[in-house]
Chains A and B, each alone.
Chain A
Amino acid sequence: MNKRFKIILLQLLTPIVAILFAVVLSSVLIVAIGKSPIEVYQTMIEFSLGRADSVGAILFNATPLIFSGLAVALSFKVGLFNIGVEGQYFIGAFFAAFVGFTFTGLPAFIHLPLAILAAMVGGVLWAFVPIYLKVRRGVHEVISTIMLNYIAYSLIHYLIADLFMDRNQKVPEGLGSPLIRTPHFAESALMPKLHGFLSFFGIDLPNYVYLNWFFVIGLLLAVGMYYLLWHTPFGYEIRAVGSNPKASEAAGISPNKIYFKGFLLSGAIAGLIGLSHLLSFYGYMDLDFPKNFGFNGIAVALMGNNNPFGIVLAALLFGFLNRGAEGVQTFMGVPMETIVIMQGIIILSVVVAANILGRYVKRLEKKEA
C-alpha cells in the first residue's frame, strides 16, 4: 500500500520537476537575449496570476485546448493517431457558423444547442472519411488525416470567401473593401459569458475577456471522458483495443468496430474545439479564424499523458504560458517566440520525465508482483 502511495506521489511530482527543469533550461535562453530570467518569470507570474482579467484570459486560452487535447487523447486511447483534429475542428466550426447565420428567430435554447450539434456533426463527417478508408481499405489514418487537414483549410476558405461571404456589409465609401467573412450570427447562437455567474462570487471580469460557458463544458467533458474510459464497457473496449487489438479480437471484441466508434467520437469532440472562440469572441467566421488548435492538442494530450484531468492541467499551463508571453512581450520587450521555445522545452521535458517515471513505476510494480 505504501508503494501505491509512493507511485501516486511520484506521478504528481514528475511533471512539476520537469517543468522546473524546463524553466532552468529556458533561463539560459533568456540570458542569451540579454534579459534577467528572474525578472522575466516574475513579470510572467505577476501579470498572469495577479489580475482577474489575466486569469480569465488564461481560462479562455485553455478552453479550445481542453477540447482538442481530449479529442487527440481519445484517438490515442483507441490506438489511432488522429492528426486530423485540426481539419475536423475547422469543418465543425463552419457547420456551427452555418447554423449561426442561417437561422434567425430561433430561441437561444434551441439555436445554440443546434449550433453545437452541427459542429459535432461536422467533426464526425470529417473523421468519417479517414476511418472508413482505414477500416475498409487499410489506408493509414496519419496520411489521410494530414491530407484532409489541407482540404479542410481550402474548403473553408472557399466557403467563406465565396459561397457564404457576407455581401451586405456596409463599408463606408472609399474606406477599403468588405471583410472576407460570413454574415454575423444571430444573438441566439452565441454562448453566454461566465461573467454573470462569476460575479455571484465577487469576481468581476472586464468585458474584453471572452471567457464563456464552453470552459465549463470542457471541464464536464473531461470528467465524462474519464468516466467513459474507466467505468463503462465501451471505454474498457477502447482501452483493450488500443493496447492490444489482436488479443481483443481473439476475445471477441471487434477492433474495427471500436476503431470506428472511437475515431468518430474523437471527431465529434474535435468539432467543438473552435466554438469557444467562434460563438463568443468572433460571432462570425472569417479567414483569421485561429488555426493550429488541433496540432497543439497533440502536445496537450502528450503532456497530459492522455489522462482527461492531466489534459485539463496541461491546457491550463499552455493558457498560462500564452498569457505570460503577452505580458513579457509588452512589459519587458521579450519576444513571444521565447515563450514558444519554452513551451517546446516543457513538452520535451515532461515527455522524457514521464517516460523515465513510467519505467521506474514498472520496476516498482514488478517487485510487488
Chain B
Amino acid sequence: MEKVLELKGITKRFPGLVANDNISFDALRGEVHALVGENGAGKSTLMKIITGLYQPDEGEMFLKGEKVKINGPRDAIAKGIGMVHQHFMLINRFNVVQNIILGYENSPGGVIDFDKAKKKVEELCELYDFKLDLNAQVGDLSVGHQQRVEILKVLYRGAEILILDEPTAVLTPQEVKELFVNLRKLKQEGKTILFISHKLDEVLEISDRITVLRRGKVIGTVKASETSKKQLAEMMVGRPVLFRLEKPIVKTGDVILEVRNLKVKGSIDRHQLNNLSLSIRAGEIYGIAGVEGNGQRELVEAIMGLLPYDGGEILIKGKSNKGLDTRAIRETGVGYIPEDRHQRGLVLPMTVWENMVLGLERKPEYSRWWKLFRDKIKSLTSKKVEEFDIRLGSIELAIRNLSGGNQQKVILARELSYEPDLIIAAQPVRGLDIGAIEFVHKKLIEARNNGKAVLLISADLEEVLSLSDRVGIMYNGEIVKEFVPGELELEEIGQYMLGAHKEVGVG
C-alpha cells in the first residue's frame, strides 16, 4: 500500500528536554495507525509537529512521497491533515452544518450558501455512514454525536489523514463501538487515521499497526494482530506491568457511608441529584460508573460539605454531616482525592512540604497557633516521599514542578496519612501514566484490605469494573443500577449509563 505520511528522523528539543528523539514512522493509505505511550512520551509534541504547530529541529516529513514543510494548522489541513481534538471545539448554539463550515465558509459576495454546504455535508454523511441530524443544535447532541461533527469538520475540509487525540476518553462503550464502525468505514474509503490513545484494549481492536513511544523515542512499530496488551504495556513502560490487580476477599464491616434520598436542586453550574441512595461498608470499594456530568461531582461535594444539599441525609459512621464544615467532616475520618488535582487538590505555587499538610496544618502534631512546626512537617514529608516513591529534586520546590503522577502521590500520601475510614477518590488516575495508575490502584486496594471504605468515581469504566466490589451506575442524578462486577455485560452497563434502562428503588 501507498505510504501517505512518512516521518524520518524527527527531533524536537525543548530547554532541558528532548521531546522527540529521532522519530521515524509511516502511515499507509487505508490504515488505522495507533500511537501509544505514557504521558510525556512525546505523542502530543509529535502531533503538533505533524499539524505544523511546532517545527522540528531535525528530520523530514513526506506526504505521498513528497517532502513537505507544514506552517501551521491551516497549512496542514490544506495539505490534507486534519486534527480531531480531545476537547471539542464546537459552538453549542450553532447547528451541525454551521459548526462544520465555521472558519471555512465559502461565501462569494459575503453571503454563505448554506444549502450548498448542507448538501456537501449530507454527501459526506452518506459516504461514510454517519448518522446525524444536521439541523440539530450541537448543544443538544450527545457527546458521541458531537464527536462525529468534529470528524465531519475535518472531512469537509478535505482531510486525507485524520488525527484523533484520545477520542474514546469521553465516550460510553456503545459510543466507542459506533465510533469504531465509522473509523472502519473511513479506512475502507482510503483515509488514513492516526489514533492516539492509552487504552490498550481499544488500540488493539481498531488499529492495523501500533507505534509505541517512550521518552521521546520510537520503541517499535508492531502489527496489532501480532501483539498483545501485555507486550504493548511493557514496551510503553519499559518493564512488565501487572494488569490483574490482586484483590483478596475481605470480610466487610460496618456501614461507613450511607447516603439516603439525597437531593440537590439543579442550576446552571450544577447537576441535580434525585433521591440518590447508596451505602458503603468497611472493606469495600464502591465504584460509580456513568458518563461524566450526571451528578457525580455534586455527590462528592455534598459528602465533603462543599455543597449544601436540599433533602435527604448523608451519614458518615452513623453521624449526619449536615451542618458540619469540610474540616469537621474530614476529622470524622474522611480522606478526599478531588477530581481536579490542580484546582481542588493542591496549592501549586506552594512547596511540596506545605502541600503535604494542607488542611492538616492545625493538628497538634504540626502546629500551635503561634508556630508552625516546619521541621517536623519537613521530616514527615521526606518520610512520605520515600514511602510513596515520589520523585522530586527537593521538597522545598513548588509542587507545580512535579509531574502529574508525583503530584497525585502527594495528595494520596496526605489523604491517607491520617488513616481515614472513608476515602472519596474522584477520578484518582486521570491523566496519569501506567506506572502511577498502578501505584494509585494498589494503594486504594490496600486501604480496602485494611478495612477502609472507598468511594471510587471514574469516567473510565474499565477502572471501575476492575477495582470495585460493587458498582452503582449513575444517570441523571440517580443510581439507576447497582451490581457486582461480572454480573452485567458491558452492553447492558452502557445502556444504563445512557439512561435507556431504568430500575426504580435501588440502593
Q: Which residues of A does B touch, CB under 8 Å?
A: 231-237, 239-240, 243-244, 246-254, 362-363, 365-369
Contact = CB atoms under 8 A, between A and B. Distances in A.
Interface in B285-325: 304, 306, 325
A368 B16 CA distance: 10
Given A244-B348, A250-B326, A253-B327, A366 B359 contact: no
B15 A247 contact: no
A233 B326 contact: no
Interface in B442-458: none
B394 interface: yes
Contacts of A251: 326, 330, 358-360
Interface of B: 15-16, 304, 306, 325-331, 336, 338, 343-350, 354, 358-362, 366-372, 374, 392-394, 397-398, 401-402
A250 B336 contact: yes
B330 A363 contact: no
B359 A246 contact: no
26 contacts: A231-B374, A232-B371, A236-B367, A239-B347, A240-B358, A244-B346, A244-B347, A244-B348, A246-B343, A247-B343, A247-B344, A248-B347, A248-B359, A249-B326, A250-B345, A251-B330, A251-B360, A252-B327, A252-B330, A252-B359, A253-B358, A365-B393, A368-B393, A368-B394, A369-B393, A369-B397
B397 A250 contact: no
A248 B348 CA distance: 11
A247 B401 contact: no
Interface centre among B358, B362, B397 (most CB of A within 10 A): B358
Contact of A232 (B330, B346, B370, B402): B370
Please indicate which of the listed interface residues A233, A248, A363 has the most CB atoms of chain B within 10 Å of its own CB. Answer: A233
Given A239-B350, A252-B359, A232 B372 contact: yes
A369 B393 CA distance: 4
A83 B394 CA distance: 37
A249 B394 CA distance: 26
B347 A240 contact: yes
Given A233-B362, A253-B359, A246 B344 contact: yes
Given A231-B372, A250-B338, A365 B358 contact: no
A187 B374 CA distance: 46
Given A244-B348, A249-B306, A232 B367 contact: yes
Contacts of B359: 248, 250-253
Given A231-B371, A233-B369, A250-B338, 15 more contacts: A232-B367, A233-B362, A233-B366, A235-B372, A236-B372, A239-B347, A240-B354, A240-B358, A244-B348, A247-B358, A252-B329, A253-B361, A362-B401, A365-B401, A369-B397
A363 B398 CA distance: 11
Contacts of B358: 240, 247-248, 251, 253
A160 to B, nearest CB: 40
A252 B420 CA distance: 14
Contacts of A362: 398, 401
Contacts of B346: 244, 247
B372 A365 contact: no
B343 A254 contact: no
Given A252-B327, A363-B15, A233 B361 contact: yes
A363 B15 CA distance: 9
A248 B374 CA distance: 19
Contacts of A231: 371-372, 374
Contacts of B397: 365, 368-369
Nearest to B300: A250
Given A236-B361, A249-B326, A365-B397, A243 B392 contact: no
Contacts of B394: 368
A217 to B, nearest CB: 20
Given A232-B370, A236-B372, A369 B401 contact: yes
Contacts of A253: 327, 358-359, 361
A359 B357 CA distance: 27
Contact of B401 (A243, A244, A249, A366): A366
Contacts of A235: 372
A307 to B, nearest CB: 14
B359, B371, B398: which has the most chain A beta carbons within 10 Å? B359
Contacts of A248: 347, 358-359
